Amino acid sequence: MEANTITRKEELLNLVTDLNGMILNGQVLEAHDKFYANDVIQMENSEMSFEGKELNRKREEEWVNNIVEFRGAEVKSIAVDEANDITMVEWFMDYTHKEWGSKTYQQVCVQRWNGNHIVHERYYNGG
């Protein structure tokens, strides 16, 4: 009898599903601590990149602490490119931010993984 082996595609799908679940349960900062590499690089659209887990966690803290009203979030779809260790998540977001006002938008998040950690993440935001 062969042992059950998990494919990289299944592993990546499990990782990104766990990450998304934590975010949807309000555990944004805990998810960041668990799933992001120390040398992670994050980008918003084509703006400059932000390097390092500590800097990016501070950015997440600022976002979380400035949410005035959270009306909802939903994962619309997930794609996995196991050959390149990439996951892509389509999100719907609806909230009010202290500085940015009311925000309702679609977002695609592209994550490059190394093992069990995200080493590069880029957000593509749309209306």
Position 3 scores a pLDDT of 66
Instruction: Please name the residues in contact with 124: beta carbons below 8 A apart, sequence gap of 6 or more.
Output: 45, 107, 108, 109, 110
Task: Examine residue 90 and state whether it is found in any structural domain, yes or no.
Answer: yes
Q: Which domain holds residue 27?
A: 8-126
Instruction: Please name the residues in contact with 83: beta carbons below 8 A apart, sequence gap of 6 or more.
Output: none
- 74 within 8 A of 46, measured Cβ to Cβ: no
As for how many domains the chain has, the answer is 1
Q: Which of 68, 69, 72 is nearest to 98 (CA)?
A: 68
Question: Which pTM was predicted?
Answer: 0.92
Task: Examine residue 3 and state whether it is found in any structural domain, yes or no.
Answer: no
Task: Examine residue 2 and state whether it is found in any structural domain, yes or no.
Answer: no
Strand partners, 101: 97
- 41 within 8 A of 113, measured Cβ to Cβ: no
Position 47 scores a pLDDT of 83
Could you say which residues of the chain have pLDDT below 70?
A: 1-3, 127
- Specify the CATH number for the domain of residue 70: 3.10.450.50
Position 48 scores a pLDDT of 84
Amino acid identity of residue 99, one-letter, is E
